């Protein structure tokens, strides 16, 4: 099968985890990549390692996103936007959830995705064979106890993805959603649990083979590398040990 011949991508959330793994995988597959994140030191290291172009930006800030769009347009443009930036804070039930945590999650997962899409949509439309891939979560497909804030944010991002596909099909825009389940990364659970390393470790305890960031990056690269006429609308990826959000096999 012929591969996608357009290989100019912008990847957000690139300083760690799935975002960084996606940058590495795309570069290995021959893509030109602009890697975007807030942490300049991590981005610089990733750029040296992978050959990606680093751009420091906060996807929730208008000025940062506008500067990024200007930079990309002046340096070859893009045909593929991959929105990985996101995260979770807290595992509180609705009764005691912190509004500040919810606000942060909504801004990073939802508003940041919106700002990035709006900034690059004109260029993707002009390209005529553009792709947007949003990394959501199985938390956006089924709610679970203690997940309400993250559920709400990821359900919203899932809805944006579906609406965008309907709105932009006339512009030949390919819109893909990748929704991972349990992924063991260095920072996700640690950040969600307020830096508690012991609690973060328990999230993955007894799970023989949770997904890795590299597993998800493999799927992302495959989806955007397919010929443009093939749209993988939604890809749900879980470890075998996780049959559903509420069904996870732990041993030992």
Residues noted as catalytic: 150
**Which residues contact residue 66 at a Cβ distance below 8 angstroms, ignoring those fewer than 6 apart?**
119
Give the total residue count for the chain: 252
Element containing residue 134 per DSSP (H, E)? strand 131-135
Q: What is the spatial distance between Cα 219 and Cα 29, in angstroms, rounded to a whole number?
A: 13
The residue to which tokens 């890809």 are assigned: 235
Q: What is the spatial distance between Cα 120 and Cα 115, in angstroms, rounded to a whole number?
A: 9
Element containing residue 180 per DSSP (H, E)? strand 174-180
Q: Specify whether the CB–CB gap between 137 and 149 falls below 8 A.
A: no
Tell me the pairing of strands 247-248 and 242-244: antiparallel
């Amino acid at each position: 099968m012929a591969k996608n011949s357009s290989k100019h991508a912008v990847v957000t959330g690139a300083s760690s985890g799935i975002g960084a793994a996606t940058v590495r995988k795309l570069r290995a597959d021959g893509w030109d990549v602009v890697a975007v994140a807030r942490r300049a030191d991590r981005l610089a290291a990733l750029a040296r390692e992978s050959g990606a172009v680093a751009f420091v930006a906060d996807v929730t800030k208008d000025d940062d996103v506008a500067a990024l769009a200007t930079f990309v347009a002046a340096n070859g443009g893009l045909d593929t936007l991959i929105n990985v930036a996101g995260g979770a804070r807290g595992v509180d039930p609705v009764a005691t959830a912190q509004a500040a945590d919810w606000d942060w999650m909504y801004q990073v997962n939802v508003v940041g995705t919106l700002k990035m899409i709006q900034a690059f949509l004109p260029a993707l439309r002009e390209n005529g064979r553009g792709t947007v891939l949003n990394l959501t979560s199985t938390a956006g497909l089924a709610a679970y106890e203690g997940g309400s804030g993250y559920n709400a944010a990821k359900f919203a991002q899932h809805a944006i993805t579906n609406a965008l596909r309907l709105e932009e099909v006339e512009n030949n825009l390919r819109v893909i959603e990748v929704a991972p389940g349990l992924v063991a990364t260095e920072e996700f659970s640690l950040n969600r649990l307020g830096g508690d390393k012991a609690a973060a470790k328990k999230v993955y305890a007894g799970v023989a083979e949770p997904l890795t960031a590299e597993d998800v990056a493999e799927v992302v690269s495959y989806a955007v590398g397919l010929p443009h006429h093939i749209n993988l609308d939604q890809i749900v990826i879980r470890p075998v040990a996780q049959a559903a959000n509420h069904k996870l096999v732990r041993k030992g």
